[in-house]
Amino acid sequence: MLPAMKTSRLTARVIAAATVAGAGVLALSSPALAHVSVAAEGAAAKGGYAVVDFKVPNERDDASTAKLEVAFPTDHPLASALPEPIQGWKIEVTKAKLAKPLEVHGKQISEAVSKITWTATGEGVKPGFFQKFPVSIGALPEDADELVFKAIQTYSDKEVVRWIEVQKDGAEEPENPAPVLALTAASEDGHHGAAAEDASDKSDDAKATATTTEAASGSDDSDTTARILGVVGIVVGAAGVAYGVLAGRRRTPASEA
């Protein structure tokens, strides 16, 4: 009876340890999934135009995301920022005068978008869901490797989360990091995608946006699945070790007898 009792206790301890390990991995991976982020649909080449998605997950289980405010960079102002209409959301684009005018395609631009605000007219982003807010932006700066967009997320219960902390080189990721868009080098043929601002291409751009959004959603699902499988692997591995230990202990008394 004693060996059996010891075996049961050991099994319980190993299972508990494996569970804690799995929970720890999930805890470490969850924050990265919960951040407000920005990503380009395709390449965001320097000097060109791109469609970018501001991705907003809902971290709360008792409130919806009712508003998103995104501040555009002032150190590298963008002459064009066109948000895509989204059903159930009111969009307000705020512009500001530039201290130094920009020259885009031979034209002087004296103001640029400083902020875009999305306000829910319905339920907003409900618990357990996320929402993408697409914006066509350009021309992207040629003298920068990234653009920082500080964002403010407001919930239906008036709680405000400020995603405004800038990542510093060599430092750990801040608790509420600001969304950062990485820029790529311009293509060798010198084309930056300037046709994206041409009104005649809006239909094709819309189709491409829809296709890319589906692909991005699939990528998000794959990433989440990979994380879950990783945790399952840890738990199964721990259980395998426990089984090996128990099997070894059971064989030892038999061989000694």
For residue 201, the model assigns a pLDDT of 46
Summarize pLDDT for 152-196 with one digit per residue, the tens.
Answer: 999 999 999 999 999 888 889 899 999 999 999 987 655 554 434
Summarize pLDDT for 217-233 with one digit per residue, the tens.
Answer: 444 444 544 455 554 45
Residue with the two structure tokens 């128990």 = 246
Among candidate residues 184, 191, 180, the one with its CA nearest the CA of residue 145:
184
Strand 180-182 with 160-163, pairing: unpaired
Summarize pLDDT for 102-139 with one digit per residue, the tens.
Answer: 887 788 889 999 999 999 999 999 999 999 999 999 99
Helix, strand, coil share (%) of the chain residues, nearest 5: 35, 30, 30
Structural element, H or E, at residue 5: helix 2-34
- What whole-number distance in Å separates Cα of residue 196 and Cα of residue 39? 17
Strand 130-138 with 37-40, pairing: unpaired
- What whole-number distance in Å separates Cα of residue 202 and Cα of residue 142? 24
Across all residues in the chain, what is the average pLDDT? 76
Per the CB < 8 A criterion, the answer to whether 112 and 97 are in contact is no
Q: Could you tell me which residue, 60 or 246, shows the higher pLDDT?
A: 60
The whole-model pTM stands at: 0.64
Per the CB < 8 A criterion, the answer to whether 48 and 140 are in contact is yes
Whether residue 207 has pLDDT greater than 70: no
For residue 12, the model assigns a pLDDT of 53
What three-state secondary structure class fits 157?
A: coil
Q: Of all residues in the chain, what percent carry a pLDDT higher than 70?
A: 60
Among 32-46, 49-63, 235-249, whose mean pLDDT is lowest?
235-249
Cβ atoms within 10 Å of 19's Cβ, excluding its own: 12
